[in-house]
Structure 1
Amino acid sequence: MVLIAAAVCTKSGKTIVSRQFVEMTKARIEGLLAAFPKLIPKGTQHTFVETDSVRYVYQPLERLYMLLITTRASNILEDLETLRLFARVIPEYCKSLEENEIAENAFSLIFAFDEIVALGYRESVNLSQIRTFVEMDSHEEKVYQAVRQTQEREAKNMMREKAKELQRQKLEAAKKGIKPTFGSSGGFGSSTGFTPTPTIGDVANQNNDAKPSYTTVPAQKPRGMKLGGKGKDVESFVDQLKSEGENVITQNKNSISQSGTKAPAIKTDIDDVHLRMEEKLIVRLGRDGGVQQFEILGLATLHIGDERWGRIRVQLDNQNTHGVQLQTHPNVDKELFKLRSQIGLKQPAKPFPLNTDVGVLKWRLQSTDDALIPLLINCWPSEAGDGSCDVNIEYELAHTQLELMDVNIIIPLPIGCSPVVGDCDGMYTHEAKRNQLVWNLPLIDAGTKTGSLEFNAPRAIPNDFFPLSVTFSSKSSYASIKITEVLLVDDDSPVKYSVETALYPDKYEVV
């Protein structure tokens, strides 16, 4: 198919958003869009209409139309499939199908349209991939921003401490009768290293026009930054991360001291054989119950830090009962994995790559079974007689073997709404700038598997509180795939290893 343009327009013919995919003049596109409302046949159920040169494929969206303009030679079935994908994209970025909401999110919609069609041809993408491509979420950027904010905070603290120190030295000098002068060296005293200081006798002889005498005070050692030195801001940042339970990898440096000896190696928090079990959760629940989408994607990566442990096998214990589909890397011995649940290379004489995170195992599970949902969210908004809404939200941890940390349930609010919270398990924050209420629960486990939040929202309707989204982090494994031991290929002797497990939602919402 060749898709000329995609547009969202009103039923009266006003164009709100339009994206052109082939070279064509602006006047030509505007003429095609202006002619569309006049061509719609009345009293029919058709979703396309043709002219001598183009084909209009459209779908009603309440008071709007999602419109595609294609060539007459394009496949009508492919056109309709592409149209449905375009129509599904709009609710992803717009809370309502209103003209002003479409206009406010025009750029996000255009970016999403560009992911569907390139140079007039449909790309092989689904809704989840479009969402990922448009968001362009970068873990490295988040880490960089966190480091930068911490460094800025530490720099401000150091600046305040330096100001207090200068003020304290100034007060001490004033008590001793010394008039402080600020030289270019940054401390007290002139740049030459000496400060003229009047003695007690000088003060007594001032009225007698006696020649004053001076004592010399050696200049203080400048306290500037030292290149190559380990800054306190870096140390405090690392200590802060460790106190929050993060695994911090410190690079060993063979720095030479003044005596010519090497500095001792810094012990890291991970072993030379390190495995990371990462699971990403995608959940979409209906507000009236039912599972619209459930998908879990897992990845096991192996990192070898010493060439002595390159030729190893990893023993797994698969306790999963949900029917997770497992897939090993092409270089992993599949027969060994099937018979003994071990991850090893097809060619045992070759080692795993050194100092590289290698993906060795993937697993996946898709279903619409309610029993697979780890955290159930039940939101009950009901209209009150005064034009407000009473909202009751409950959560229940269905899989009690999981421990979910820093759980945030984000409830959207109407613009300008100030909710009145009556009962709350945990904590809550009203973010007025973002028009949302954030319900925070530090930990959800078997001991705190249920909880509720009740609040009243003035000037609201039940649809205002959806879609409701959930974020959390966990060191538990949903799939129950565990590493039991790591063995050398030659003699099956055990190797010391470390394991890191992470479970987090890529998207978890109630719509």
Structure 2
Amino acid sequence: MVLLAAAVCNKGGKAIISRQFVEMNRSRIEGLLAAFPKLMNTGKQHTFVETDSVRYVYQPLEKLYMLLITTKASNILEDLETLRLFARVIPEYCRNLDESDIVDQAFQLIFAFDEIVALGYRENVNLAQIRTFTEMDSHEEKVFLAVRQTQEKEAKDQMRKRAKELQRQRQEAEKSGRAPSGFGGGGFGSSSFNRGDRGDSATIIDTTPSEPTKPSYQAPRIHVRIEENISVTAGRDGGLQSLELHGIIKLKINDEKMARAILNIANNDKKGVQMQTHPNIDKKLFASQSVIGLKNQDKPFPVGQDIGVLKWRLSTQDESFMPLSINCWPNESGNGCDVNIEYELEQPNLELNDVLISIPIPSGVGAPVVGDCDGEYNYDSRKNVLQWNLTVIDSSNKSGSMEFSVGGHPDDFFPVNVSFVSKKSYCDIQITDIKLLEDDSSAKYSSEVCFYVDKYEIV
């Protein structure tokens, strides 16, 4: 077949976008497109019409037409097959299938059209390949980003070295009782400068009254991060196939005085997690008193680094341990499926934030029609996924549901994927206090908890 052009038209025959694939002057293609609505008024029920020179092959898309213009010598069966592929591409990029949506996605559609036809001839591609080709990453962009990241890292390293050098100079100056180089200028104290090549120097005294010094913010001398990630695979008919959780306590010492600190841990876990301390941590002390301390006090914690001091792991098939259960019920109807999906918070002590439940939608069936919905939703036509968004799930709204209708088969709506974050530990492991080993006094510290999803799917 030789495909001259492809266009999306409205019911009146007006071309919204058009792409020609062979050499043809503008007036010629405009004349062919203008003739199409006149041929549509003949009352024929076929999906193609012919003139003396070309064939129009078309398919209705709600308020629009997908139109191909081919030569009369082309194979009509191949024409119709190609038309169906073009028609399936449109819903990939356009959610509402109206004129404004077509205009908004014009460039994406044209790029997709170019993947189907080259120089007037059909390429051997399917819908999945078209999606892959149009979304393919640029190698040059990856190289550029890698170079930029390297440059940023080198700049940060230089800044750290400079900061350490300035800190060393300041400490040496404080020991000798003089003002450090690079500090105390700009109207505070004194500074010296060289007089050309004479080798002598002069001192400038600033007599401007200085304002009272404001107290500066001091970062905590220690920071503790409790991090957990979870992987869950559950069956669509109920039952947990696997649940695996990994946790770690990371410690960052910002002051050398804290390098021999000890951490008091509250282990409220009732799920039976397996714990393991770092080799440099006193295991007996932790086992007997839930205290994280150094095994050898001559080897203090390093300063300015994140150090993992305690890890834990949980693996189970007990579905009562699931943070969130998801039930998806697709029921076949006359034109496709009616789908009801619901969630239930299984751990009432948790608070899940930024919850995203993603349901796959078959390609080429258009946007789903959503009925009742707790929270918000969004249909991504390019990825063929319906995204159900919930800002927070806790004991006050531990359950919710969404209903929608769309074409397809019940198997098309799996796997359902879930993601969330939480500021509460799944295993309820907490830092209660940090003390200085020398005098057993409590130290100021900051802490954070991050519980997040590595993989969470209902298959």
By how many angstroms is 1:505 displaced?
0.3
Name stretches of at least 5 consecutive residues in structure 2 with no aligned partner: 1-124, 134-144, 153-181, 190-209
Structure 2: distance between partners of 1:271 and 1:369? 40
Give the alignment of 1:55-74 within 5 angstroms.
Answer: none
Task: State the secondary structure of the residue aligned to 1:302.
Answer: strand
After superposition, the Cα gap between the structure-2 partners of 1:479 and 1:255, relative to the gap in structure 1 and judged at 3 Å, is: farther
In structure 1, the partner of 2:453 is 505
Within 5 Å, which residues of 2 pair with 1:57-206? Answer: none
Q: Which residue in 1 is equivalent to 2:324? A: 375
- Report the TM-score when normalising by structure 1: 0.49
Cα deviation for residue 433 of structure 1 reads 1.1
Q: CA, structure 1 residues 372+255, in 2 after alignment: closer, same or farther (shift >3 Å)?
A: farther
Q: Are positions 1:425 and 2:425 aligned together? A: no
Tell me the CA shift for residue 494 of structure 1.
1.1
| Correspondence for 1:294 | 243
1:357 aligns with 2:285: no
Where in structure 2 are the equivalents of 1:412-451 lying within 5 Å? 412-416=360-364, 417-451=366-400
Q: 1:362, 1:457 → 2: CA distance?
A: 45
Question: Whole-Å Cα distance in 1 between the matches of residues 248 and 353 of structure 2?
Answer: 21
* Contact 1:424–1:452, Cα closer than 8 Å, also in 2: yes
Partner of 1:465: 413
Instruction: Return the match for 2:441 from 483, 486, 493.
Output: 493
Equivalent in the alignment of 2:233: 284
Rate the CA distance shift 1:442–1:255 in 2: closer, same or farther, 3 A.
farther
Structure 2 partner of 1:259: 187
Write the deviation string for residues 457-489 of structure 1: whole angstroms up to 9, x where unpaired. 12x111111111011111010011111111111
1:328-382 CA-to-partner distances (Å, cap 9, x unmatched) read 0001000111111110111124321100000000000000001100100000011
Q: Any idea what the Cα deviations from partners look like across 1:249-282, whole Å, max 9, x if unmatched?
A: xxxxx876632479978636x5111110000010
Q: Which amino acid aligns with 1:372?
A: F
| Matched letter for residue 259 of structure 1 | G
1:401 match: secondary structure = coil
In the alignment, structure 1 residue 396 sits paired with structure 2 residue 344: yes
Q: Secondary structure at the match of 1:337?
A: helix
Question: Alpha-carbon deviations, 1:428-478, whole Å to 9, x = none?
Answer: 0111111111000001000010000000012x1111111110111110100
Letter in 1 for 2:415: P
Contact 1:348 1:489 in 2 (8 A): no
Structure-1 residue corresponding to 2:357? 409
Q: Distance in 1 between matches of 2:215 and 2:351?
A: 35
3-state SS of 1:338 partner: helix
Q: Matched residues in 1 for 2:416 and 2:298: separation?
A: 52
> C-alpha distance in 2, partners of 1:446/1:396?
10
Q: How many residues align?
A: 269
| Paired amino acid for 2:263 | V
1:393: how far off? Answer: 0.4
Q: TM-score, normalised by structure 2?
A: 0.55
1:306 and 1:331 mapped to 2: Cα distance? Answer: 19
Change (3 A) 1:255 1:457: farther
Which consecutive unaligned segments of at least 5 residues does structure 1 have? 1-98, 108-139, 148-253
Alignment RMSD (CA, Å): 2.9
Give 1 or 2: higher strand fraction.
2
**Aligned pair in 2 of structure 1 residues 312, 392: CA closer, same or farther (>3 Å)?**
same
Correspondence 1:322-341 to 2 at 5 A: 322-341=271-290
Q: What are the superposed Cα offsets for residues 160-209 of structure 1, whole Å, 9 maximum, x if unpaired?
A: xxxxxxxxxxxxxxxxxxxxxxxxxxxxxxxxxxxxxxxxxxxxxxxxxx
Q: Is the partner of 2:311 in helix, strand or coil?
A: strand
Query: Does structure 2 conserve the Cα–Cα contact (< 8 Å) formed by 1:311 and 1:349?
Result: no
